[in-house]
């Protein structure tokens, strides 16, 4: 847990919550920050399994997974290739679009010169880093000047920026556990945009379990296809927008979703009658739900 990503604080909270649950389940648990000494510590400890609670890079991009595979240590979550694909929202959308899964139109910018050739006239639009989680750096813009300014700001910190059509409608998320979809959660941010503040500040968003069976069935069907196509494993969270005319649009996959008190996957599991300890136990187990 921890690491140096912009999601360090949330990762530490996730790690502590997971460690507490594992101890309550009777396991011998050691918590480690992500440091250069970590491989040596793991080789010395020889754990039965590593629970990866690292959000963002290098925890969610396949780097840590690759290290553990080289060390021969089992771990939770998706493998190196699936993680590397899913951390990049552009790569993920390209693959799923080819599979017939609808996603908002988008463009990617690698350097300032790309803006000169950009032909984008759809507003409002979402501007965000292509390889970050927790909605870090996300901004909804309403003009090309505003878009250009935020892209230039993000390019100072990241190597790839995504511009995406903003779909007016509802924000929905589906938790996946061992290949099975959990109850759908609707996110209703008080400020209109589900950004970092809305995600991690109590009272900034309202969360509602969807009871519409037809909508749930559609989202579950798409989520199972995404889980299979991207070769996801153990657990994940898949985000969608439902447009005002009822169209479902895929947004992104979180291969290591948060496990804090405000996190959506535990909330979704609870709606299915799975408490936090049982959720963690299912994730570390070799079987299904």
* More confidently predicted of 138 and 132: 138
Q: Is the separation of the CB atoms in 112 and 150 below 8 Å?
A: no
Domain finish residue from 145, 165, 185: 165
Q: Residue 7: which pLDDT band, with cuts at 50, 70 and 90?
A: confident
Phi, psi at 85, each rounded to 5°: -70, -45
- Using one digit for the tens of pLDDT, what is the confidence trace for 206-242? 999 999 999 999 999 999 999 999 999 999 999 999 9
- Among 7, 60, 132, 171, the active-site one is 7
Domain that holds residue 145: 106-165
Phi, psi at 183, each rounded to 5°: -55, 145
Quick one: how many helices (H) and strands (E) in the chain?
A: 11, 9
Supply the pLDDT for residue 136. 77
Q: Is 118 exposed, middle or buried (0-12, 13-18, 19+ CB in 10 A)?
A: middle
Kindly state the greatest CA–CA separation across the chain: 59
Asked if the structure places residue 207 within a domain, the reply is yes
Domain finish residue from 118, 133, 165: 165
Supply the pLDDT for residue 199. 55
Task: Locate the DSSP E strands across 136-179.
Answer: 139-141, 161-165, 169-177
Q: What is the CATH number of the domain that holds 121?
A: 3.30.1490.20
- Using one digit for the tens of pLDDT, what is the confidence trace for 139-156? 999 999 999 999 999 999
- Among 134, 198, 205, 268, the active-site one is 134
- Rounded Cα gap, residues 129 and 164, in angstroms: 11
Q: DSSP secondary-structure letter at 75? A: B
**What is the number of domains present in the chain?**
3
- Among 56, 252, 263, 268, the active-site one is 252
- Rounded Cα gap, residues 23 and 56, in angstroms: 25
- Using one digit for the tens of pLDDT, what is the confidence trace for 277-288? 999 999 999 887
Average pLDDT, the chain: 93
Query: Rounded to two decimals, what is the model's pTM?
Result: 0.92
- Among 237, 249, 263, 268, the active-site one is 237
Q: Is the separation of the CB atoms in 264 and 258 below 8 Å?
A: yes
Angle between the N-to-C axes of helices 63-71 and 80-87, in degrees from 0 to 180, rounded to the nearest 10 = 170
Asked if the structure places residue 22 within a domain, the reply is yes
Domain finish residue from 165, 197, 212: 165
Residues 143 and 214 in one domain: no
Check if 33 is active-site: no
Check if 281 is active-site: no
């Amino acid at each position: 847990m921890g690491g140096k990503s912009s999601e360090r604080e949330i990762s530490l909270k996730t790690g502590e919550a997971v460690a507490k649950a594992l101890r309550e389940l009777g396991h011998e648990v050691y918590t480690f920050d992500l440091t250069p000494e970590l491989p040596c510590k793991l080789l010395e400890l020889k754990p039965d399994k590593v629970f990866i609670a690292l959000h963002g890079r290098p925890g969610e991009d396949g780097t840590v997974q690759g290290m553990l595979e080289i060390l021969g240590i089992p771990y939770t979550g998706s493998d190196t290739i699936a993680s590397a694909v899913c951390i990049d929202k552009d790569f993920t959308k390209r693959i799923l679009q080819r599979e017939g899964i609808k996603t908002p139109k988008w463009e990617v910018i690698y350097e300032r010169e790309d803006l000169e050739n950009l032909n984008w006239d759809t507003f409002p639009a979402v501007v965000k880093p292509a390889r970050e989680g927790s909605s870090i750096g996300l901004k909804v813009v309403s003009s090309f000047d505003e878009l250009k300014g935020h892209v230039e700001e993000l390019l100072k910190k990241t190597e790839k920026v995504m511009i995406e059509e903003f779909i007016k409608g509802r924000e929905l998320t589906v938790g996946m556990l061992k290949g099975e979809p959990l109850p759908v959660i609707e996110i209703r941010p008080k400020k209109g945009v589900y950004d970092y503040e809305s995600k991690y500040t109590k009272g900034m968003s309202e969360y509602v379990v969807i009871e519409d069976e037809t909508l749930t069935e559609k989202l579950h069907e798409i989520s199972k296809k995404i889980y299979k196509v991207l070769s996801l494993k153990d657990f994940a969270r898949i985000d969608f927008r439902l447009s005002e005319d009822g169209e479902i649009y895929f947004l992104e996959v979180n291969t290591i979703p948060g496990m804090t008190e405000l996190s959506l996957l535990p909330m979704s599991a609870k709606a299915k009658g799975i408490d936090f300890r049982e959720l963690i136990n299912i994730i570390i187990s070799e079987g299904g739900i």
